[in-house]
Structure 1
């Protein structure tokens, strides 16, 4: 059996929830550093405080993916229950965030908010893989990119709109979040929930028995494995566990001996923890196999295309995270000449950053539907390469422009890359995954969104302090170089799938 091709409006409805998800995500990205600084954070601490978001994604997404693969409700379906629960929790968190009375409350709220966004967002990727045939997946992920860009345009610009259209103040007393930011988050909560509800009630899912009939059994990976294969998997778990445990321990010891910054312990500690988890899975697998063992074992058995894409994701998301953390500080200090969060110049610069973020997301929304056309004429990996190079040049050009208006040119390049990052890798990946593990592997794929963010948070502050005298514009230059490298790595990805452009 083959999945039926969906109409334009059916793909529209199943992707509409991303409008709300990205509205909330854009508010988080554009305003969290501003909120942290207002509540007393130092600029070199921002990367560490932002770690709540990627660490949450690292834990939540594969777990949600694993359980959503095994969920079915006759009314609510397979992925949609997770959309709904995440949307409710995220909307509540969006209301709490701008009212945080202290820095630590804001950091904790970011953790909860990002967990909730991840609960909603992760199954959306598998949703496309579940419902669309291979030839429509590029269009399906492009539709998601369109709504991501559209939602983020308005979400990013909300503080600027409230200040300049509705005359709501963008300044406040020391330690108080401006009203323009507060109202932006309230509107974000409403839009997030409403958009996700649209997808929940206007979309359908295939029941498990139909999905099983659609499966390409060349991907099949059953739980019933031979004794020899089980021995092989035990050996790989043990080897991976020993290597990562020893490597992480050596890194920790070296950082302690050299008295390096505390951020680096996050990286070495994470490697050590993963090594311990592999060893735990090895010990448990010798006697039984459960969900935890399957999650850890399948990490070592990723499809070839997925392994190749992990390096592409690593460098492109490292670049994005450097932009999200440091654009506000780079623009306010380098272009507007202020580092005082209570000054008019700083807040004007911070408001302009929200406009710049709206620009790159708007460009992404416009470019999204051009990507399948370009991919059909060339290839998906060539398309992704071109887009990432443009994005890298855009990030690096921020260090050249001193006129705030010229930064719009930089954001055009970033927007082209953003549209591709949100669609092309997922389209290439979906056809390479075992259908019965689509949700889990989509969650694992997000490791390679989260891990570069943890690395960025661990090393960027150290690099800026050590080599660049805390001039944050250099973080954006580093990000641009990484994005271009990501584009070059795309050219080695195996991708032979067909692409269809919807009428």
Structure 2
């Protein structure tokens, strides 16, 4: 029988009922949509910098063209989180946003690789990232909505598993199509983006919508306990001004755990964004020795950079199985610290590696850090959030991810020119340093609840 619990939300006492535990396959189904979402992220992370260079961008211009991802996240995720907190319909609370975002994202994945100018590619990236954010943000709250506290680490770890699987396959797709299916640019095809990249994006579009539909069909949501009260409260909070006031009120009342997790996320994602911006093109220029984007070595280097991303995603996938047990033994906080240090060492070691095969080993540490980043902070955070505000707080938590990305997009081009002399390897090393700072800051965080032994 379910038991009830109460929670203070502002001046109001709210009663919640203990959620039943879910089986492994139920957690699998509710997380499967992240496989498709990661196709959207993975394809752009491995290929967009190269697409920009194919279309004529310089190294110092690349960061500003990446501004779309963090800025759309900053604007959209809190709004979508707040909206989904106050939504209930035939598809439930979060699932309508999964579906809308998946449809738009899949369309953009079809159009993106056919861009013929920089402004077109940049504009479509804005729409793509906005659409991905609409699908992705509610997935974080989805876990907290459905799973009891003792299974949330397993739920977020399962999301990491699918993120790793989706990213590994999507990152390696151009290499697979070139080397195993022997796809080549057709004679007379003058489009800037290679055929294998375009086909990879088409495959990603199908994977995105298909995986999200699987989760929508297989996983039902809990309705509000008092539907009439829910509708009345929603009616009172309609309008942009009312929604903005509630978001700002939530920021003012942010839990202490969330305040201390914020800087950890800030430096972690600063490091990751440096890697995503420059790793594939750094491999092409610094490891393969490509002099310009028209060189065959350049495409080979970018494809190998995609393989490196695939390796860290495969490690993320495999390590996700070990994360719940490791967190039980060491605690979520200590587990995340260790994983971030592994990632920092992996990125900084790129400075001394010039062999493309040895380069793959650096991605082991990055994959460990990536798996933990996608699960441990969210598991710690979810334990500190009032259920009535889970969606909006998950969206606000995204501020600490997108802010460093925005700063990188706006100012890292200047740093590349004046401090790093457009050496892409230096940007990767800087990413490792930022991740090490994040590990140090994690020591300040207090996990509000001990991980339950009722994990899966």
Task: Name whichever of 140-149 and 170-179 sits farther off.
Answer: 170-179
Q: Match for residue 164 of structure 2?
A: 149
Matches within 5 A, 1:102-501: 102-169=117-184, 176-209=192-225, 290-499=242-451, 500=453
Q: Secondary structure at the match of 2:351?
A: coil
Q: Is 1:139–1:501's contact at 8 Å kept on the other side of the alignment? A: no
Contact 1:171 1:342 in 2 (8 A): no
Cα distance in 1 for partners of 2:455, 2:227 equals: 23
Contact 2:257 2:448 survives alignment (8 Å)? no
Equivalent of 2:110, from 95, 111, 116? 95
8 Å contact kept, 1:66–1:439: yes
C-alpha separation in 2, matches of 1:65 and 1:492: 27
Q: Residue 28 of structure 1: which of 30, 38, 44 is its match?
A: 44
1:40 CA displacement: 1.2
Deviations 1:288-312 (A, max 9, x none): 9611122223222211000000000
Provide the C-alpha distance between the structure 1 equivalents of 2:308 and 2:186, rounded to a whole number of angstroms: 19
Shift in Å, 1:170 = 6.4
In the superposition, the TM-score normalised over structure 2's length comes to: 0.91
Q: Which residue does 2:82 correspond to in 1?
A: 66
Q: How far apart, CA to CA, are the structure 2 residues paired with 1:166 and 1:384? A: 39
Structure 1 segments (4+ residues) deviating >4 Å: 170-175, 210-213
Of 188-197 and 333-342, more deviation after overlay is shown by 333-342
Aligned partners of 1:211, 1:431: CA distance in 2, in Å?
Answer: 25
Contact residue 336 and residue 345 of structure 1 kept, 8 A: yes
- Distance of 1:194 and 1:201 partners within structure 2: 11
Corresponding position: 1:11 with 2:27 = yes
Figure out how many residues of one structure are paired with residues of the other and give that number: 430
Other-structure match for 1:79: 94
Deviation at 1:212, TM superposition (A): 12
Q: 1:89 to 1:461 in 2, by over 3 A?
A: same
Distance apart, 1:174 and its partner CA: 7.0
Contact 2:102 2:132 (C-alpha < 8 Å) held by counterparts: yes
Shift of the 149–96 alpha-carbon distance from structure 1 to 2, 3 Å rule, reads: same
1:169: how far off? Answer: 2.1
1:42 aligned residue (49, 58, 83): 58
**Partner SS for 1:398:** helix
What's the CA shift for 1:501? 5.6
User: 2-side partners of 1:412 and 1:459: how far apart?
Assistant: 29
Over 3 Å counting, the alpha-carbon distance change for 1:131 and 1:98 in structure 2 is: same
CA distance in 2, matches of 1:144, 1:390: 20
Q: In the TM superposition, what is the alpha-carbon distance from 1:369 to its structure 2 partner? A: 1.7
- Residue 398 of structure 1 and its aligned partner are, at CA, apart by 1.0
**Cα RMSD (Å):** 1.9
